[in-house]
A = this chain, B = another copy of it.
Amino acid sequence: MTKVHNYSAGPCILPQEVLKQASEAVINFNNLNLSILEISHRSKDFIEVMDNAIALVKELLNVPSGYSVLFLQGGASLGFYISAINVMKKDGKGAYLDTGVWSAKAIKEAKRLGSVEVIASSKDKNYNSIPKSFEVPGDADYLHYTSNNTIYGTQFKTVPQSSIPLICDMSSDIFSKEIDVSKYDMIYAGAQKNMGPAGTTLYIVKDELLGKTGRDIPSMLDLQVHIEKESMFNTPPVYPIYVSMLNLQWLKKNGGVKWIEGINNQKAELLYAEIDRNPLFKGIVEKEDRSNMNVTFVLTDESKSEAFDAAWKAANISGIKGHRSAGGYRASMYNALPLESVQALVDVMQAFEKTNG
């Protein structure tokens, strides 16, 4: 069958060889003659999967000692609340940077627990940029930000300076580029972009951050409980963790985060260059804040949208319609999207210029 150029915003494209292994394990895992779906999560074979997945996260991101790595459930949506309840003291305060929908949701959940100070926001510019000047309140328990906004297509290029514990929702760009984990006190990320399929959520947390809120925390939301039980407090989402492990193995084998960062840069340069060059298109985000993961753009003449949609669909390109709250187009270029798929989109844009320019 013809190859699909899969620009899905998440759940998103995964490497073919990962999918092949993932498919085989549903029939016969580890030559047990049993499916990965029907073995005990406390079996030797699955404990090995969990241990490998955790070890790969630590290795690929150079996680320093003193941090724990957890595979939990609930996505970033539960992470918004979990991050706050585990760190915001009773009568404490959380500081937030607002870069759009995901930050706003994090802020909403944190407000249930106490005081929230939004120290900077790009809302008045329709979130087309990343706020750069802000003062971090020394009396807040933490500073929270979203590293990449999938909807508007913005991305932090530097880590915010913070004198207080730093928490980051890194759902949409973790494993896409090198990071310095030691600058963070907590990172959380839904798996379904660069880590694996939907259904598990990664937490990387500095152990000493926890246990200081004076709050009673429900067991399933308590990161200390999960650390103590090594992500096995209850039945974990076995298959999403297994496929994440396979995908991290793929990343390691090919050269790790530094390797994929190089490719991701190439992909982004190729597409942004075409958007800037081609008079039929324009970007919607300030250049210095453009995301390497989600490239947003519009037609300079919206009346051509029907013709353009037909053109990319004919080229087997899938999933570049913009998010319903942003409109236009969004090319999500996660790790497994090959450079050839970006070239295919650029080719469509160039051909479209010739026939419609």
Contacts and interface: CB of A to CB of B under 8 A. Distances in A.
Chain A contact residues: over half helix, strand or loop, or mixed?
loop
28 contacts: A1-B28, A1-B33, A4-B33, A4-B34, A9-B40, A10-B235, A11-B38, A11-B40, A11-B238, A14-B38, A19-B27, A19-B35, A19-B37, A23-B26, A26-B26, A40-B319, A73-B73, A73-B75, A81-B218, A81-B220, A108-B219, A112-B216, A192-B235, A197-B238, A198-B236, A199-B237, A199-B238, A237-B240
A121 interface: no
Interface in A200-244: 200, 216, 218-221, 233-240, 243
Interface in A167-219: 190, 192, 196-200, 216, 218-219
A35 B14 contact: yes
A150 to B, nearest CB: 11
- Copies of this chain, tallied across the complex: 2
A109 interface: yes
A217 to B, nearest CB: 8
- State which size class the interface on A falls in: 35 or more
A336 B4 CA distance: 36
A55 interface: no
A4 B221 CA distance: 37
Contact of A199 (B19, B26, B221, B240): B240
A2 interface: yes
A318 to B, nearest CB: 7
A199 B37 CA distance: 10
A12 B36 CA distance: 10
